Structure 1
């Protein structure tokens, strides 16, 4: 049996001098999870027969898409200069929507591996995560991954990284997560450069919660980083922000499977199980302390994730509404950034208004609801949060066009973001043209190297959330990378566009757009519905309106029954009489008839995919 096959038993508490806490930060698909796999193998915490690719990506959807959504914390032993060190590695997501997962993971670390693909170089999200790590005063170890690829250009990108963080190109480590080349040197470098955690062993216990997940059998599993003092098995603990007290039924570390210990000391990263069933009692960013000897001061928390994009989720079968509620409650247990409230639509029935961090977060949540709970859902077009002030000076938070106040509006404020695009120099023109067409204001432009440029724009979030990224990729042949960060709000000339069928508003099709784009939206929606809604016994006008002013119109022609089919020759007046009678009937039907909009029409008109597919065809 190889020495790596058996995992050493975890001691109750480790000397802080022998602990190294670090995380891996990188752009999506730059090889974080594969590098983590090699570290798990080299340190022997995962036996060869249990090893599988992307070991730390536990969710089916993570494995399908090849992306990390939830952070994972792992403890690994590593021998260096005849001493055994305890590494706590936190594998973080790379996508912009999940940067809140990254920010709270950084609070639990002293060092960060800045991982860059040797074939692609620095991307926008890498930069954003680098600045986050610098704000937390972490030691940055630059690493070039995928040096085994034929397209790798390690020298070129090492110079790019060196220019960015102020080191020599030779100091940038070169590794291959796939083959394992250079990973041992990287682990040695972590021992030498990442500082040991500091804390007061005699002080009252203080541990920061940086993540919590819900386990069906064991309740809430809370992940903490101990800052001062220590926590022990069966100890009574208190959550400092809520004042709730619990008994520690189990305390331990992840290796990467849970391993119970007698306690956790300074600098250690581990998990607590108290048997609590409500994840909101283990609030991320809260401080855990001992009830017998409580601490006075909270550890500096992290920023609460704020939903940026709202969308309505409605079950296609109305009877599945309770199932959807239960499914969202279960997802919320593992996703602190998800929030929802019930919503009723005259067209779509009962559903929920759900807040997300971005479009990928929306897509992932919807996919999980459909896969894990067998639900069929309609999601309405994504909206951002507007602040609308009416004539009387009252301010309304509008997350849905149906909440838009009637009457005169004094001011509308919309969220603004700072967008960073990194792109090859040959595509500067198309990127600037796209950003300006989306009401962007240029903030600056820097050359990272001769071939690659960082372009910064201030833009309304509403212009980014719909199909901006798809357009950006198609205009730059897939080479551009995008990152954005909310910076506040600004006043804008926005209007609510209503869609009317037979003079009645259909709330599901309403939208809040910029005045300059309202006409285009109205024309597009009216022509789309004309094709989707089946013909009735009477003519149906489809109109787009801003307030009482109609800006676009299409007519759905009536089905005409041939009332003259039984008239063979004879007097023309008989035929006229029949036609007049039909005309009267249609007129009366138009007054009392209602337009039935089939479910398929809603699904097709509201799905954002249909809009982007149509554009792609053109």
Structure 2
């Protein structure tokens, strides 16, 4: 068991004594096993149960608090979290062992297509060990930094974690980030070295990395191959021995934490709950601490991993609850549920997610506005880290400005809208939230605060109205082989980053820490990093507040008229290159007119870049045969005057596909 230095709370935790080993499992609702079927060897492997035995209603009262373990799996992307979860489900008889068991807990289409976990999933496992049957509640979490809010919510319902590390890749940037999430939540950490079956696996090297980075003794590491099932049984035993049972009180009134939720169009909101006190059963009247509305419980149950209704849920257990919540606003993540007429102190809940990037979202056809609004509301219930603000555009119509935790988060949200709700949208270029410190008391009174946050570049205040601009910064962690460090340091310097630290993890790998302006990394930094390092470098970042910056608002003009949708905020030093790129891209996207179109990038009244879309040409001299040169000159002059007049009164309609081409991809900085 790992005990972090200087943490007295960890030293005081009692560990479960090493028991004699697992006996044959018996599910809580199944009939007692015949005596001749009981394994004589107490360490004999458990027999998987078929799906038919899971159809009976389980009796959850058979599990006292000391026989419950709530744990989560955390790791870097593609280190084998979902594969390990599949093997644990098979070993405990929760699912049948077949060749088709791949990413069983990844239920979304986008997860299976991309091969990543974007949504935390829960499963209740029943496992016999040392002559006792244990209830193990497993929560499989995402690994990408954009879904760290899912991880933090999942950890709130756990007492321990399995920290999975690839035996070939070793510690990566998100391994470090997820470890410290668990460390700050004061959870027991069990290091698991996966993929020991790979040809280039070096588990001994990874053990030393874990010991150096996290101060966990190498003897605490469990070496497994989740794909082949090698030594996975010891992971279950370690969960029982090293993770403490939840600290709850079943005699107190009900107090349940809503840590996740989904929406079913027939049953309403399905809330995933962790019970900290009391118990809940069908027919109970419960109250939401957030809305103070009263509901009657229609169904309670556990996830195995599909929904399995039960008679009751008890403190220490994790399950789901349906109580007739009809609208998405009634189910708040982090809400506390309690019994009617038995109010309790609400649980701390969660810190609200802080959006890192914003993008405009508009329906392709305005007639689809209400359908898209309903789809966004239902999807944000399932992904509460997305923030939604109403927005409108002259060219694109009514829409929303949505806040996401990162670019992958935005991409996955858009893909889920298309797949789950058949909604097609225009998604604009992502921007980051800036701040401005107002200069005059009159403006402070108007905005009701001295420091305002700008999420829409079109609303960026003029320099004369503010004393300074602030841009968001993040503390980035890069782990890379030493041979690529020179190129990566050059890339970071080009993105206005400031180096904070450099640590050698082992002889071949280093960890770099940089303070980055968020705007410099949010779009194409990760792709550039992977390209420079041949795919070996990993990147993770965390919020580091705001810093003063020389920012300017850059307008894009068509024949002198500002196009609000293309307004952007850039650093003063990079304004020309960004403006030039947008003008060139717009020139290639706009259809030619009967008159010339001037495309300009301007800061205030100063034009910094320009491109021109040439007009269609007409040969006005076609019918002139030789002779009178003065007539030819008159015709050419009249044509020039007509085009000049047409340019002043001509209406330039920017087609939506041109907006999509320009807005979809941020210009390279």
Deviates more, 1:135-144 or 1:205-214: 205-214
Q: Equivalent of 2:588, from 531, 549, 552?
A: 531
Which of 537, 544, 558 is the equivalent residue of 1:487? 544
Distance verdict in 2 for CA 1:476–1:252, change over 3 Å? same
Within 5 Å, which residues of 2 pair with 1:363-402? 363-392=411-440, 394=444, 395-402=451-458
Give the aligned partner of residue 615 of structure 2.
558
**210-219 or 109-118, larger mean C-alpha shift:** 210-219
Distance 2:192 2:294 in 1: 43
Q: How far apart, CA to CA, are the structure 2 residues paired with 1:606 and 1:476?
A: 28
- Give the 3-state SS of the residue equivalent to 1:305 in structure 2: coil
2:293 corresponds to which of 244, 248, 255:
244
| 1:126 aligns to 2:183 (yes or no) | no
**1:181 equivalent among 230, 233, 248:** 230
C-alpha displacement of 1:535? 2.6
1:51 is displaced (CA, Å) by 5.5
After superposition, the Cα gap between the structure-2 partners of 1:461 and 1:201, relative to the gap in structure 1 and judged at 3 Å, is same
User: In the alignment, which of 17, 21, 26 is matched to residue 70 of structure 2?
Assistant: 21
Q: C-alpha distance in 1, partners of 2:118/2:302?
A: 21
Partner in structure 2 of residue 320 of structure 1: 368
Instruction: Determine the structure 2 residue equivalent to 1:404.
Output: 460
Q: TM-score, normalised by structure 1?
A: 0.95
Contact 1:162-1:172 at 8 Å conserved across structures: no
Deviates more, 1:102-111 or 1:427-436: 427-436
**2:161 aligned with 1:116:** no
C-alpha separation in 1, matches of 2:258 and 2:419:
30
Shift of 1:493: 0.7
Give the equivalent residue in structure 2 for 1:234.
283
Partner of 1:168: 217
Query: What residue number does 2:87 align with?
Result: 38
Flag structure 2 segments of 5+ consecutive residues without an equivalent. 1-36, 38-46, 445-450
1: distance between equivalents of 2:159 and 2:48?
Answer: 30
Rounded Cα–Cα distance in structure 2 between residues aligned with 1:314 and 1:209: 31
Distance in 1 between residues matched to 2:641 and 2:238, nearest whole Å: 88
Name the residue aligned to 2:482: 425
Contact kept, 8 Å, 1:223 with 1:269, in 2: the verdict is yes
CA distance in 1, matches of 2:349, 2:600: 51
1:72-101 deviation per Cα after TM superposition (whole angstroms, max 9, x unaligned): 111111111111111000101111011011
Deviating more after overlay: 345-354 vs 79-88? 345-354
Structure 1 contact 423–479 (Cα < 8 Å) conserved: yes
Judge which range, 172-181 or 580-589, deviates more.
Answer: 580-589
Identify the residue that residue 49 of structure 2 maps to in structure 1.
4
Shift of 1:50: 10
Contact 2:57–2:309 (CA under 8 A) maintained in structure 1: no
Q: How many residues align?
A: 611
1:555 Cα deviation from its structure 2 partner: 2.1
Could you tell me how far apart the structure 2 residues matched to 1:412 and 1:192 are? 53
Which of 349, 364, 369 in structure 2 is aligned with 1:301? 349
Q: CA deviation at 1:35?
A: 0.7
1:118: how far off? 1.1
2:248, 2:213 → 1: CA distance? 32
Establish whether residue 474 from structure 1 lines up as the match of residue 531 from structure 2.
yes
**Offset at 1:467?**
1.0
**Matched position secondary structure for 2:152:** helix
Pairwise CA distance, 1:49: 6.1
Alignment counterpart, residue 356 of structure 1, candidates 394, 401, 404: 404
Deviation at 1:260, TM superposition (A): 1.6
Q: 311, 323, 332: which is aligned to 1:274?
A: 323
Is the contact made by 2:331 and 2:381 (CA closer than 8 Å) also made in structure 1? no
8 Å CA contact 2:328, 2:378 repeated in 1: no
Deviation at 1:3, TM superposition (A): 5.7
**Map of 2:240 onto structure 1:** 191
1:549 alignment counterpart: 606
Deviation digits for residues 449-478 of structure 1, max 9, x if unmatched? 111111111111111212111111111111
**Alpha-carbon distance in structure 1 between the residues aligned to 2:276 and 2:182:** 19
Q: Give the CA deviation at 1:9.
A: 4.9
* Change in CA separation of 1:343 and 1:292 when aligned onto 2, cut-off 3 Å: closer
Shift of 1:377: 2.5
Among candidates 304, 318, 322, match of residue 255 of structure 1: 304
- Gap regions ≥5 residues in structure 1: none
Contact 1:252 1:264 in 2 (8 A): yes
Q: Are residue 64 (structure 1) and residue 113 (structure 2) matched?
A: yes
Question: Partners of 2:48 and 2:457 in 1: how far apart?
Answer: 63
Is 1:224 aligned with 2:273?
yes
The worse-fitting range, judged by mean Cα deviation, of 324-333 and 117-126 is 324-333
Distance 1:471 1:256 in 2: 39
Bigger shift: residues 50-59 or 331-340: 50-59
- Tell me the equivalent position of 2:135: 86
Per-residue deviation, 1:407? 5.9
DSSP 3-state at the match of 1:587: helix
